[in-house]
Structure 1
Amino acid sequence: MTARPVPGVKGVLFDLDGTLLDHRGAADAAITAWMTAYSPGHPRLDEVPALWAALEGPHLAMWQAGECTVQEQRRRRLSALCLELAVPAPGDLDSAYADFAERYRQGWTAYPDAAGAVAELGGFALGVLTNGGQLMQEAKVRAIGLADLVGPVLTGEVLGGHFKPSPASYTGAAGALGLAPEQVLLVGDDVEKDVTGPAATGMRSVWLDRLGVEPPPAGFPRITSLTELPRLLLR
């Protein structure tokens, strides 16, 4: 679908991981390095990034639903990875996860198209709506040099416990910008959380499909780079 201008938009919310920050690249490299050090020569090392990525959503959902603490979901996730690979789980799961997390932090990098696109939207109210932990997501935005550009970082921890795709996460985020949901556009890479989910509140959305290999959900525009976003809004 050809991107078309979006009338009436006064604010833009960005997803963070996979949209502004290359989360997958950082996480894949970090968990591969961690497993290489923990179990040298493991025969399934090339499968580790995909296995770790598959565990991310379900375990984060447990934390977001209040079923466990954020630290407990980390322990469970690391244990599940070790179980899948048939290696003993570390005796100190917290220290082991901290080792992975430090490697992950070292890999935090903005996508090359992020800063320029955000800078071109200076006339809009801007913010970041993300499902990660508040302190970590704020740290990511600072680390990739966007803290002075993107406005407030909004997670479920500051939105009353409401994470995407809860409608209250979108209405709360719009309110934090001082706008109604229908005045805000959300851009992100997750179809459910960033594209179809906001529609229930009247919020507009654009799917960032960096691979450019799939059609967008019916009725929603798709862009393959953030460089297309200013044209979409300002043309």
Structure 2
Amino acid sequence: MINGILFDLDGTLLDHRTAADTAIGAWVAERAPGHPRLGDAPALWAALEEPHLAAWHAGECSWQEQRRRRVRALCAELAIEVPADLDAAFAGFAEHYRRGWVAFPDAARTLAALGGFRLGVLTNGAQEIQEEKVRAIGLDGLAGPVLTGEVLGGCYKPAAACYTAAAAALGLPPEEILLVGDDIAKDVTGPAVTGMRSVWLDRLGVSPPPDGFPRITTLADLPPLVHAP
């Protein structure tokens, strides 16, 4: 029986990709107007997110340092001058990024339709920023507590300890929780080792889910799924 539901944040409740792509395009255009590879910047920036965030998760660098590394790497790839103040440079990107924060249209309606379940947000981002996102997109009070590695003992998805700690934070065993997210490894197959169930949110509907895992293409499909007898 499902008594609790955990949601990923970026790509699930918040349209992270659109915000980040628009922001990095604006950031590059400010520093290199007319750059011939401006159109490549969003894909390059997206490719840099995971490895450098993973280095932070592993304790190999600080949160701020992983940001600096991403700026350096993007500048190197585009052959533009590396800013002298990398922290200020990333802050410029972050300002654009914040302006693009918006919830997916199905997010608030879905959360509101899940009364009776214990809800929470399980995300690999930084605690303060992820809480800020939830407030900014109007889901504070609807989505439940925001749970990151910073409040879960330093463990991040897809580590099994992350899911068990998140379940404990909701006051439920993993077997009574459903995780909903857009990343197959972190949100779908990862939780299975703990007995936690999951649903893959595939907004593009481009490929089948891993064997044995349900797929939805909109959060609006979730309430009928969890309320089904």
Instruction: Using structure 2 for the length normalisation, give the TM-score.
Output: 0.99
Query: Deviation of residue 88 (structure 1)?
Result: 1.3
Q: Which amino acid aligns with 2:105?
A: P
Instruction: Specify the alignment match of 2:221 in structure 1.
Output: 228
Give the aligned residue type for 1:117.
T
What is the deviation of 1:210? Answer: 0.1
Counterpart in the other structure of 1:83: 76
Task: Measure the CA separation in 1 of the matches of 2:194 and 2:77.
Answer: 40
The alpha-carbon deviation at position 122 of structure 1 amounts to 1.1
The answer to whether structure 1 residue 214 and structure 2 residue 207 are counterparts is yes
- Does residue 21 (structure 1) correspond to residue 14 (structure 2)? The answer is yes
C-alpha distance after superposition, 1:53-108 (max 9, x if no partner): 00000000000000000000000000000000111111111101001001100100
| In 2: Cα distance, 1:157 partner to 1:126 partner | 19
- Structure-2 separation of matches of 1:16 and 1:114: 10
Spell out the pairing of 1:65-144 with structure 2 (5 A cutoff). 65-144=58-137
* Secondary structure in structure 2 of the residue aligned to 1:200: helix
Matched position secondary structure for 2:194: coil
Please tell me whether residue 57 in structure 1 is matched to residue 53 in structure 2. Answer: no
1:37 aligns with 2:13: no
- Deviation readout 1:16-52 (Å, 9 max, x if unpaired): 0000000000000000000000111100000000000
SS in 1 for 2:124: coil
The letter of the residue matching 1:44 is R
Runs of 4+ in 1 over 6 A off after TM superposition: none
Instruction: List runs of 5+ in structure 2 lacking aligned partners.
Output: none
Q: Distance in 2 between matches of 1:67 and 1:94?
A: 18
Alignment length, in residue pairs? 228
Rounded Cα–Cα distance in structure 2 between residues aligned with 1:168 and 1:102: 33
Which stretches in structure 1 are left out of the alignment for 5+ residues? 1-7
Alpha-carbon deviations, 1:142-194, whole Å to 9, x = none?
00000110110000011000000000110000111100000000000000000
TM-score by length of 1: 0.97
Secondary structure in 2 matching 1:217: coil
